[in-house]
Each structure stands twice: as C-alpha cells, then as structure tokens.
Structure 1
Amino acid sequence: MSRVEREPRMRLESGDFVFTNPSIVGFRICCRVSLPLENSVEIAITGMDDYEKISVVGRGAHGVCWLCRRKDDVYRQKVIIKTVSLEGLTQEEQNAIMGFVFLFFSRCEVTLLKRLHHPHIIGYYESFKTENAFSIVMQYAEGGTMDKMISEQKGIKFDENTVLNYFTQVAIGLEYMHSKQILHRDLKTQNILLNRKRTIVKLSDFGISKELSTRSLASTIIGTPNYLSPEICEGRAYNQRSDLWALGCVLYELAELKRAFDGENLPSIVMKITKGKHNPISEHWSDDLKLLISSILDVNENKRPFLKEILTCPLILPVCLAINLDLGALPSSPPKKTRQIASSNSSILRTQPVVVKSVGY
C-alpha cells in the first residue's frame, strides 16, 4: 500500500483539530491526533501502515474491525480500526461515506473532540482513506459488547439495579447525541461497548448506516431487524423517537436476556413490531421497570417519553445522579415541562417538577 507523503508536523493545543491536503485521493481528512491527549497534541498525516495489526475482532457486511497499536505510540495503547471496503460501491455511496467523515472529523468551527467528547460515547481519533477502503481509528473497549455480556449470563438475570445502571448510561449517551442533533440510527446491544471492568458503557457505530444508499441500508436493516421501530417498518422517516424505540429494546434485552421482538423470519418480526407485541416481561421485575419498558415500546411514537423525561422520572433520576457523581454526566439540559407519560393509575413515569441543574459535557 502506498504511503501518503508526510507533511511537517505541528503542535496544537489540546482539543484543536485540523485537516490538510484536501486534494489527496479526493479525501478531505488526512491528519491525526496523537494519544493520549495531554497539554498539546501532535498532528501528522497517517495511514494504515502506521499501525501494527494485532488481530481481527469483527467482520461485517461492509468491512472488518482490527485491534491495532500505533507503531510510534510510546504508551502502547490499543485502538480499534474499522475498515470499510469501497469496492463494489457506487461513486454516490463512496461520496456519502466521505460525507460522514467530513461531518464528524473536519468541522472547523466545532471540532470532533469538542463536539463528541463524552464518557458514554466511544472515542473517535482519526480517519484515512486508501484506494479501495476507508478506515476509522477509535477507542478500544476491552469489555466487549453488551450483546456478548448478555450472552455470557447463560440465562441468569442481572439484578434490577444493574439493569437500570446500564440502561441509564446508554440513555445519557443517547440524550447527549440528540442534544447535538445527531441520531444514532443503529442502536442495539452489539453497538454498545464496555470498559474492561464492565462498569462503563459507550455507544458506538452511530450514523454510518445513515450515509449509505437505500440498497446498502436495506442490507443493514435485514441483518438486524429486531430493533426497528414501527414507523420504520411502515416506511416512515427515522427520528429521535425511533432511537427511543431501539433504547426500549435494549432495556428489554438487559432485563430478559433476549430480544423484545423475534420470529422465524423478517415478516413475522415486522408484524410483531408494528402491532407492538413484544415478548412478555417476567414478574421478576418491579412494576416500575415493567411500566418503563412498556412506555418506551409504545407503537404510537408520539406517546413515547422524551429522553429527558426518562432520565428525570422517579425510577431513573437517582441512578442518573449516582452516575453523575462518578462520571460528571447528566442530561444536557433539564426538561422544559413535565407531563404524564404513563397510564393514569401508575406513578413511575408521572414526572414531578424535579429540577436538574444543566451540566455541560
């Protein structure tokens, strides 16, 4: 693989991000931020040959994920490099992928690190393009995926506090994304990563499927139909409430260790989703938790609670505050109003006038 010719290195203050050589192979990003971030960062052109490949950690329809280590990193930190093959894609699809990179990695007025730095969002460090592939370098989460963690339970349920803690962390990360006007679009347990001790969760793989063509997106949907919202199954537009539906599916899966909606084939799954007939919730859980799941998995998207309402409801708010003490993460702003979002005879999601101080990330 041919190397991109290096340019002189520059020193920038922590948090700054630049892009150079917009003419190289039609690619607008060709710079990196050295790790770890300290008082200053080093910017240099980079490529795959700057990394030592350790092992393959995953394969998908569009590429492969490598566990790597940067050759000149004195800290010997491991990173994940997701390589998306451009072979077989139309020029329009390739341009769409490049548009994703430009969106997240090269906004001059709002840099990547300032825009997406959050304890529950996986860190994205740099990106580069070769002739036939595009690669993103991201933070390595040693604890693996939430999907893997759930499968390792072998049917032994988590306690309710653990379920609520994991769920709340995911909700906080998703609320942060929504506050930045970013939809996840592919929220599922396979795209939720954990640290080595499995105490902190991080959202990953958001937005990429959005940038693919209808043909490519269809193949993604067929691969993971269990988290699709009713409105998507009916061909309507994706919105924040669709992310919420997927969040409800994640909560169900944390509680029951299985998918909320399953079936022998895609049509049977879609039929269950559009009718809101999720698998039953066991009596093992509190009425409050069962009601929370049912409220989020409401077929009527307009009846689903807002994320701010979820994070400030009596069941979740104490968990959210406890997480804040550990990580400094709260909803990006307090809810503007309160409303009842559950049945009239229930109190779990009947939000009280709780005031949560807005904390910046």
Structure 2
Amino acid sequence: MNCEVEGGGDRNRRVDYDCTDGERPSTFEGDGSSSSSDELDMRVLIDPRLLFVGSKIGEGAHGKVYQGKYGDQIVAIKVLNRGTSPEEKSTLEGRFIREVNMMSRVKHENLVQFIGACKDPFMVIVTELLPGMSLRKYLNGIRPNKLDVRLAVQFALDIAHALDCLHANGVIHRDLKPDNLLLTANKKRVKLADFGLAREESVTEMMTAETGTYRWMAPELYSTVTLRRGEKKHYTNKVDVYSFGVVLWELLTNRMPFEGMSNLQAAYAAAFKQIRPTLAEDMPSELACIIQSCWTEDPNKRPSFDQLTQMLSAFLSKLSSPPVSPPSEAGMNGMMAIIPAPSARTGRKFSFFKQIFTAAKRPGSNKT
C-alpha cells in the first residue's frame, strides 16, 4: 500500500487510501459502529465450497485458526464463534463484519493480506498463511538469547509501518502484542494480524474500556474508578503507541513485561503506580528514549508512528554505517586519531529523541 503522510500530526496528513471502494473510510460513532459499517461488503465474500480446512494452528477467545486451502492457494482460515444467546450472536456478528470490512479495505505489506470471508454456514475470515510463526513463539524459542539489535529494530520498523498505515486510515488496532505479529518464512520480517479488537476512530468517539491484553495495555484504558463491563471512555490511537513501546522493549530484552506479576497485577502497576518494565543499562540510549516516549503517562506526549518510523530508520541507518577502525598505536606516531563527527542530518534526527523525551518529562507540556 502507498501510505503517504504529510505533516507531523495524526490529524494533518494526506493519505493514499487503498480501499476496495476507492473512497476514504467511514468512521464509527458512539460504540464504534454505524449503519454503513454494520453491513458486510458483498464483494469480499468467497465461495465456501472452494475452502478446504486442515489442521488447527491457533486458538483465541473468539475463534480458532486453521491451515487450509482456497482453490490452489495455501491460506489461514479463522473460524469465529457464533455465540449462543441472541445478544451474544448479534455482538459477535457485528465484530466479524467490522473486522472483515477493515481488513478488506486497509492494505499494506506489513499487514497480513486479506483474501476473503464467508458468513454462512460459518463466520470465516481467510488470509494469507505466513510460513513462519508468531513473534511470541519465536522469542520464546531463542530465550534466554536476545535478538540481534539490527533484527529487533527491523521488526520494530515493520510494526511501526503497519500501525502508521492503520492510523492513517483512522483505525486503532487496540491489541498489539507479540502473539499478533507473524514472521515471514525467512524470519527476517513481521506482519501485523488479528483485527478482532480493532476500531475506527473519530474525534468524539467513546470506546469500550479494558480492551486488549493487560501487559501491553495503555493506562488510559483503565480508570481509577472500576468500570462496569462494556462501559465506554475516551481514548485515542495513542493506546497503540504505548503497546508498541512495550513490544519494542520485548524485542530488545526478550523478556516478558512485568515478570513475576499476574496479568491484573501488571495492569494495576502500569495504570495506578506508573510502573514500567526496567530498561537495561546496556540498551542503546536512543532506543531507550524511544521506548520511554511511547509509554509516557500522557497520551498527548507520545510520538506518532510517522515519527517513530523516522527515528527507528535513523537508528538503523546508524547501525548500518561501517565502523571506524581505530588506527594502530604504531601508525598513530604519537598523534591523536581524528574521529569523524556525525553529519548535521544525523544530528538533527537524533536530537528528536531528546526533544520527545524532554517534552514527555516536562510538566504541562502538550507536545508530542
């Protein structure tokens, strides 16, 4: 997808939308639904007789995922639960329709490719099958070893590009975590999956609180007053930025966030005690600064994904530069070695790290 962005703010950007109907996506009102979004685009439906369901490869709260075939193509087939009561059936069908409509409209190389859907006899979503594995499984498999920092940052860039595209299209993912990130066959790139909790965003939107998975959830998804299940509250796409900060921390440390805590303890620590995972002393200062800017308490002070891709790209470019070999003692002839200074362009890019972190720590600042 060509997701062009102009300007630094989340609202002031020009986007080339890759939508099935060629139009800018609609926005949800109230609880994240509207009459247009409650209707399934019939053009995304595929013939269920062409589907062959194979072995189960995953299972979640709302359905199961199978490896299968659609015609001659190897695919992933997500079969969603239909529910039992009329109210539950209506809720699950609405979630299915929203997920299908968003996946079919928003396309990017770092988003799992949508192929089609079936509504009857089962609610089914068909996507490309990535032959790798989930980022969670991959990290667990190499533990206690860490990823090479270049690979970790490349993964982070892939994730940031995917979320920048979603946000440019007015979509909040709301459930960013390693389980929803899938590796390609060569295990060098990742793609974002699972739009089951995604919602479209409008300026006045009220959305369901306590959405997502506790260890990665932004503190604003909670309230100091316990919310009844299904109660609504204000939040923005900056909840994804917070989750991204936690995922980036995992990529660099290969540790579980809030180790030794239960899910609810982790949520309480982050939301009410402002506790965050510990930053390792050997973590590159630029990356530590990015992480801290992402999970700062005030959502308005978190960077956008457009800014994050620029910062991560600058850091990766710095890593890719050939190291300056120190001259031998004999070759120096008693003279001090001259180390080239960073270019003005690199200096400007990395000064942004400090600007963001300083703004995040300064009381009363509204800068992102």
- Given the two structures, how large is their TM-score scaled by the length of structure 2? 0.67
CA distance in 1, matches of 2:115, 2:173: 19
Choose which of 117, 120, 135 in structure 2 pairs with 1:127.
Answer: 117
Question: Residues 102 and 167 of structure 1: is their aligned pair in 2 closer, same or farther, counting only changes over 3 Å?
Answer: closer
CA distance in 2, matches of 1:151, 1:102: 31
Task: State the shift of 1:248 in Å.
Answer: 0.5
Choose which of 82, 88, 91 in structure 2 pairs with 1:86.
Answer: 82
Choose which of 260, 279, 286 in structure 1 pairs with 2:284.
Answer: 286
CA distance in 1, matches of 2:81, 2:209: 17
Choose which of 138, 157, 161 in structure 2 pairs with 1:149.
Answer: 138
- 1:202 maps onto 2:191 in alignment: yes
Letter aligned with residue 60 of structure 1: G
Question: Residues 306 and 255 of structure 1: is their aligned pair in 2 closer, same or farther, counting only changes over 3 Å?
Answer: same
Task: State the shift of 1:322 in Å.
Answer: 11
Question: Residues 117 and 320 of structure 1: is their aligned pair in 2 closer, same or farther, counting only changes over 3 Å?
Answer: farther
CA distance in 1, matches of 2:297, 2:262: 21
Task: State the shift of 1:270 in Å.
Answer: 1.8
CA distance in 2, matches of 1:322, 1:128: 46
Q: Which residue of 1 aligns with 2:236?
A: 239
Q: CA RMSD in A?
A: 3.3
Identity of counterpart residues, as a percentage? 23
Using CA pairs under 8 Å that are at least 6 residues apart, name the structure with larger relative contact order, 1 or 2.
Answer: 2
CA distance in 2, matches of 1:170, 1:320: 17
Q: Which residue of 1 aligns with 2:216?
A: 227
Question: Which deviates more, 236-245 or 59-68?
Answer: 236-245
- 1:96 maps onto 2:101 in alignment: no
Task: State the shift of 1:180 in Å.
Answer: 0.8
- 1:116 maps onto 2:121 in alignment: no
CA distance in 2, matches of 1:171, 1:86: 33
CA distance in 1, matches of 2:112, 2:64: 18
Q: Provide Cα deviations, 1:18-67, integer angstroms capped at 9, x if missing partner.
A: 9xxxxxxx9845555xxxxxxxxxxx8511x4222221001112211010
Q: Provide Cα deviations, 1:215-261, integer angstroms capped at 9, x if missing partner.
A: xx78964xx21111010022643311100001011101111112333
Q: Which residue of 2 aligns with 1:46?
A: 47
Task: State the shift of 1:94 in Å.
Answer: 3.8
Q: Which residue of 1 aligns with 2:294?
A: 296
User: SS at the partner of 2:357?
Assistant: coil
Q: In structure 2, list runs of 5 or more residues that go unmatched.
A: 1-18, 23-37, 201-207, 228-232, 321-351, 362-368
Question: Residues 231 and 95 of structure 1: is their aligned pair in 2 closer, same or farther, counting only changes over 3 Å?
Answer: same
Question: Residues 201 and 266 of structure 1: is their aligned pair in 2 closer, same or farther, counting only changes over 3 Å?
Answer: closer
CA distance in 2, matches of 1:163, 1:125: 29
Q: Which residue of 1 aligns with 2:62?
A: 62
- 1:273 maps onto 2:273 in alignment: no
- Given the two structures, how large is their TM-score scaled by the length of structure 1? 0.68
* Contact 1:146/1:190 (<8 A) preserved: yes
Task: State the shift of 1:120 in Å.
Answer: 0.4
* Contact 1:101/1:127 (<8 A) preserved: no
CA distance in 2, matches of 1:17, 1:294: 39
- 1:343 maps onto 2:348 in alignment: no
Letter aligned with residue 244 of structure 1: V
* Contact 1:125/1:137 (<8 A) preserved: yes
CA distance in 2, matches of 1:231, 1:320: 34
* Contact 2:257/2:277 (<8 A) preserved: yes
User: SS at the partner of 2:308?
Assistant: helix
Question: Which deviates more, 239-248 or 295-304?
Answer: 295-304
Q: In structure 1, list runs of 5 or more residues that go unmatched.
A: 1-14, 19-25, 33-43, 106-111, 212-216, 324-337, 347-361
* Contact 2:56/2:66 (<8 A) preserved: yes
Letter aligned with residue 108 of structure 2: H
Letter aligned with residue 52 of structure 2: E
Task: State the shift of 1:134 in Å.
Answer: 0.7
CA distance in 2, matches of 1:31, 1:322: 45
User: SS at the partner of 1:125?
Assistant: strand
Question: Residues 87 and 199 of structure 1: is their aligned pair in 2 closer, same or farther, counting only changes over 3 Å?
Answer: same
Q: Which residue of 2 aligns with 1:137?
A: 126
CA distance in 2, matches of 1:259, 1:340: 29
* Contact 1:261/1:273 (<8 A) preserved: no
Letter aligned with residue 271 of structure 1: Y
